[in-house]
Structure 1
Amino acid sequence: MAPRRPVLVTGGAGFIGCNLVDRLAAGGHDVLVLDSLARVGAESNLDWLRCRHPRRISVAIADIRDADALAQTTHDAVAVFHLAAQVAVTTSLAAPFEDFAVNALGTVTLLEALRRRAEKVPLILASTNKVYGDLSDITLALEDDAWRPVDPRLRRGIDESRPVSFHTPYGCSKGAADQYVLDWARSFGIPTTVLRMSCIYGTRQHGTEDQGWVAHFLLRARAGEPVTLYGDGRQVRDVLYIDDAVAAYLAAWRRIGSVAGRAFNLGGGPANAVSLRQMLAAIARLTGRPVVSRFAPWRPGDQRWFVTDTTRVTAALDLPQPLPWQQGLARLADAFAAEGRAAA
């Protein structure tokens, strides 16, 4: 019997990646994880996957910029989920060329490995809402400790007709990757699609100050440590629980024939829009003690408000209503309590 062809997940030991790999393996797929293990928590996520799916998971410890490794790992892949990335705006400002090499050059190297295949192999890219820039042209007003658009038409969120506008090196590198992936569908017929994510949170997330803010806030609160808010803490994001994000990725693969060459905004939508201060208040209620916060200057490129209009992605991928953020936060708190986790 010929060996089963794997699904390749780059960045498969990361937060979203390991949850996606877990769902794929549980669904009967063999999965090849490519990861450099550079992120905090990646090794423990990989151990978790190996323990849960010892016969389904294979691993290539390699950098996304390694053309030879990509040639080998894409050789038999039946599909590719591309999640490997440099994910922090702060890191991109400190090391912009490194950020470019990982996010932009690494993505093109992967696309070229697929283009050399005789078969048209699907690729789904994890992109970001940062491709829309800082949204400073949108007039906002304070409402219940949160910034909201004055224009009522924007209350449903930002849709895919919004022009991209790359701010910060991170926005540029991820935006370039986003556009290259879409163009490889146009220019070379590779079936690709792009999911521009808002804030994803949930289990297996090792939140830090630079990335994964919901988990970071909760872990700091559990440890009784203060949380630093950059800006005024009233900036708003729509948050999406990890199970719903993974369902979207799998649906994009299933429907690649109809969504190839398209980009979709993926987030929790208006019903799951919450400010940083509101999230801290909810965590305080959940833990039964106040969360101490301190303030620092705004960070470059930070959006005071971003909410996803989920109309197109919901219709195209036939997605269910996402988990309400209050329930997702409670699930995450229960998971951290069961693991005995607090801030590192």
Structure 2
Amino acid sequence: MSLRLTRGVALVATTAALALVATTTPAVAGPVRDQKQASRWLSGQLTDGLVHNDQYDFTDYGLSVDVGLALHAQERRGGTVTAIRDALAGGVDSYTTGVDWGSGDVYAGATAKLTSFVARTDGDPASFGGVDLVERLEGLVSTEAPTTGRLQDVTTSDDYANTIGQAFAAQALDAVGSDAAAPVTSFLLDQQCEAGYFRLGFSRKDSVDQTCDGDPRDAGKPDQGADVTALVLISLDALENPSAQVQDAVERGSAWLAAQQRKGGSFDDGYAGSNANSTGLAGWALGETGRCGKAQKAARWVQKQQAGSKDKALSADKGVIAYDRKALLTGRKDGIEVTTRDQFRRATAQAAPALDNLRKKQCKA
């Protein structure tokens, strides 16, 4: 799953090098090089601070935020992150509303994600591109029972707000000290299921019980594999003064996530098998929540999907991370084509932050 939140839902090492990686004190030179190369490649995908999709000829604001989040998480290319933020200021309405299609719709997921990104990167979400994003986001939060705190689209059609957007909203509103942060976070915690994972979709708005466990439609299995839980954990970990309830949710969620790791270190999205997007997000989240061994194992798997200097067809794309082994082998043969570039961009944006765990002497406590 991409971090992109549009209306619908809206990141190769040699055997010898891997042998040098210890469980909690990995070697530094290789991982630092791999991170730099991935960051350099991501930065090179920008045109005037934004990602442009050449296949379908549109500016991808959501993916631009993904790139910014990935670079910011690694504390790399701060100037590029600022350039992304500045460029996004010119497309606030295009990204968060239906103005380009002549509608008055406002999309909760995109609004929450953009507000979170601006807040995380030291921008002013209360005055961004001529828009008060905080006010816009607060206006998308339900204040009536039983959905108090629930994020919702303003739309005449289907409401696509979901737990990923809810997590971005909780982090963003907490960062700016909004009164809406508490109910938004409380509703987010209600989406954690008994097993420990976070579900993607919400209950029907007319349901008295808005919790995961109170929804008869929940089958006890996550509908997006590791992705949703990882994204929620990353946002919850960023809260400035987490409550005991939040800390408990993070512990339960990270324990569940750690248990989903496959033998080789990878994670999946519940559909397509092991992939760099899911593994990158999970490794990123596990590193932030202190599960270092698992996080480093995921990072080593991601590292194996990264193009190196010996990949001649990818020589101009050194550092890029492929979605999976098949995509890497295809890239080694054909290079990156206009029809495959989007997948490489999304995989690298979601997986690159996980590489940070290879150079940490100890995970974040």
TM-score normalized with structure 2 length: 0.29
Q: Per residue, is there more strand in 1 or in 2? A: 1
Q: Per residue, is there more helix in 1 or in 2? A: 2
Structure number with higher relative contact order (C-alpha < 8 Å, ≥ 6 residues apart): 2
